[in-house]
Chain A
Amino acid sequence: MTPETLIYAFTFPVLGVFLGLVYKGIDRRFSARLTSRIGPPIRQPFWDVGKLLLKETVVPENAVAWIFNAIPIVSFAASMTLLLYIPFGVLKAPLEGYGDLIVILYLLTLQSLAMAIGGFASGSPFSSVGAQREMVLMMSYEMPLATVIVGFAMLYRSFSLTTIASTPVWGVAGPLAAMGVLLLLVALLAVTPAELAKLPFDIAEAETEICEGMLAEYSGRNLALFYLSDAVRGFAMAALEVVLFFPFTLTDIFNLGLTGTTYYAVEALWFLFKVLVIYLLAITLVRTSFARFRIEQASKIFWVYVNIIALVGLALVWLGV
């Protein structure tokens, strides 16, 4: 491990938490504006976390206390590790040599799984129903998610995210494969709200049905960790989509002769802008314009429609390679 990697490993999580919360703030503000509201200030998520950290942490009487308390840490760690695998603009991912897309898939699953375990461990009926729903939902959206990743592996003959990020997918793929990649993008965009437990797929947390489900019993520090991991995961998911599908740098597009710090700063801002656009389109806009599905409806959507889109995309990629 080089000192550079070490610096990355410390700065990325701090930056990740900061950006995750900022994006969450923008998301709330944008959503409010879409529904004719003023909305909270963009720094509201920071205040929320601060307040949660100050509050008392209550553990339910019939909960399995050690699992109940450990799960938020696991969840937070999973989303933080996820962040370390995603190349930030032109910067390399800190852990690029130690894992690839498959690990990302596992880390995404790990967080959902952690929340489900936390739900079961809390011993509350709402949490249990929520955890059951999360498991069903996970089983539904994992298949299209895996299909997308297999499609990329087929195209690049590699699972490495840095390889994928350095050569834009649209340049590698032929016309047929490009159509396939487009379908894979649609499938991944459909999976995004479910992966992040946002409307219309926030079925496991459904506030009006089961009072936030798995999070119903969480409070104080534990809830703050879940809140943070949710924020980071939202940012990471949007960043992943940018890296997979829109890795174009400004230097590539306009042939800019930038060097040194300017180069890194401009590209970083450009990357953040792309992530913001994806975040607002794939998460905020979708969660503002849909009602919550029932669990069996959501399963059907993923197993039938999204799966068909993903598999057709995969077939096109296979034919086009």
Chain B
Amino acid sequence: MAKTQYYVPVGPIHPALKEPIRVEARVEGEKIVEVDVKRGFAHRGIEYMGMKRNAIQTLYLSERICGICSISHPYAFVVTAEKALGIEAPPRAQYIRTIIGELERIHSHILWLGVVAHEMGFDSLLFWTWKGRERLLDILELLTGNRINYSVFMIGGVRRDIKESHVKAIKDMISYYRIFNEEMKEVFLSDPVYKARTRGVAQLSKKMALELNAVGPVARAAGVRMDIRQDIPYDAYADIDVRAVVPQDIVGEARGDAYDITMVRLYEIDQSLDIIEYCLDEMPEGKLMAIPNYVALLAKIRRTQGEAIGAHEAPRGEVIHYIKFDGKRDGPSVWKVIAPSYNNINTWAPLLLGAEVADIPIVVAYIDPCMCCNDRIAVVRDEDGRVIDPATLHRKAVEKTRKLREELGVRT
């Protein structure tokens, strides 16, 4: 007897999703036999908006790309812009940037731990972790004046100093999170129900992670030793020996499942606390901005012709920015952002195939997806203003390449 197949649409609006994306799953009983992931529901044209503004305005616009890791995009932006402009932030500013970046990593990881617990119906854990996270947000508010969009970075430095009076509060917070993180490790890694729901779920092999271009904790959980902070160090990371946290260093083997990714994130919190502590102890004295005058900075941007690619290791993986200054305007003439979720969403379809319906929320949550980081599509129109579909675009590209080859006399 043929089994009845159901078509289960998850999204664009679904309790498991906090932002719009669509997972179309065909299920037989509980088993998923066919899956398709569709994206592009949250296009906001933020890059286009950035290209119409000056660089400082664009920097604060970049903070609005993502709601959770609102420092990741400005961090990548300032690193890239400084590279393109040929300026370097003062050492003290670099250390402050690193501290804020790491604070944000901790709060993002704790947030994720709560979300993944919620996805499996463990709401008590969600409330507990989010309650624990509050203290970090308080510290961020103390340092920057804001809890979400900090507006503290600047091209060539930072806008606020970490004073002596702040240091004690941060150190208190570090000792609080050392204990809290031990408790979290105990709860998440030893809880039999959590283990039963995550062991073997969303299992990504090292080979698959490399093939699918997974980044960040997702790749690290699969055993791929990659981390921008380790591979292309910038700011204070250059002075610190940051090593990518991989499960094989912790328990001897990497299985790449949702349990491993929990472990990686929990140990990354410890690593971040170490980095913050190091930065506080070794913080150099000095000024905060390379070019303190905004008018002078914008004038320099207007004079500069250049382009650069810069990256920052966000809590979810690597954020890559490309900026081009054309020497005519005080803003970027081209600004392109690549967010980590874009790579990591590719892992959904192969992982969901053959999985159970009950695993959909965990597979969806384990990469910590961020749709608003993601959806910045490009629409190409022809001479008559009609949108060109992907197939036509591909055909035209192939035709153009052939034409070029013929003109240049290149044989294939």
Contacts and interface: CB of A to CB of B under 8 A. Distances in A.
Interface of A: 34-37, 125-126, 128-129, 132-133, 199-200, 202-203, 206-211, 288-297
Most buried by B among A35, A199, A202, A288: A35
B15 A291 contact: no
B369 to A, nearest CB: 14
B16 interface: yes
B358 interface: yes
Contacts of B214: none
21 contacts: A35-B124, A37-B127, A126-B8, A129-B30, A129-B357, A132-B30, A199-B121, A200-B121, A202-B121, A203-B358, A206-B358, A207-B121, A208-B15, A208-B120, A209-B16, A291-B117, A291-B122, A291-B125, A292-B358, A293-B197, A294-B359
5 A-B pairs closest in CB distance? A292-B121, A291-B122, A35-B127, A125-B6, A208-B361
Given A129-B6, A291-B194, A294-B197, A34 B124 contact: yes
Interface in B114-134: 117-125, 127-128, 131
A291 B121 contact: yes
Nearest to B125: A291
Nearest to A132: B29
Contact of B14 (A125, A132, A211): A211
Interface of B: 6-9, 14-16, 27, 29-30, 117-125, 127-128, 131, 191, 193-194, 196-197, 356-361
Given A209-B358, A291-B194, A129 B121 contact: no
B320 to A, nearest CB: 31
Nearest to B195: A291
A108 B360 CA distance: 31
Nearest to A37: B127
A208 B119 contact: yes
A297 B200 CA distance: 14
Contacts, number: 82
A114 to B, nearest CB: 21
Contacts of B118: 208
B119 A293 contact: no
A128 B6 contact: yes
Contacts of A203: 358
A126 B6 CA distance: 9
Given A210-B8, A294-B359, 11 more contacts: A35-B128, A36-B128, A36-B131, A125-B27, A128-B6, A129-B6, A199-B121, A290-B122, A291-B122, A293-B196, A297-B196
Contacts of A294: 196-197, 356, 358-359
A294 B199 CA distance: 12
Contacts of B193: 200, 290-291, 293
B122 A209 contact: no
Contacts of B6: 125, 128-129
Nearest to B194: A291
A293 B122 CA distance: 10
A200 B120 CA distance: 10
A24 B47 CA distance: 50
B111 to A, nearest CB: 16
B117 to A, nearest CB: 7
Contacts of B124: 34-35, 288-289
B189 to A, nearest CB: 14
A129 B197 contact: no
Contacts of A128: 6
Nearest to B198: A291
Contacts of A288: 123-124
Given A35-B128, A200-B193, A211-B14, A291 B8 contact: no
Nearest to A34: B124
A291 B120 contact: yes
Nearest to B119: A208
A126 to B, nearest CB: 7
B351 to A, nearest CB: 16
Contact of A129 (B8, B15, B359): B8
Contacts of A297: 196
Nearest to B121: A292
B29 A291 contact: no
Contacts of B15: 207-208, 211
B273 to A, nearest CB: 23
Nearest to B196: A297
Contact of B358 (A36, A290, A295): A295
A126 B25 CA distance: 11
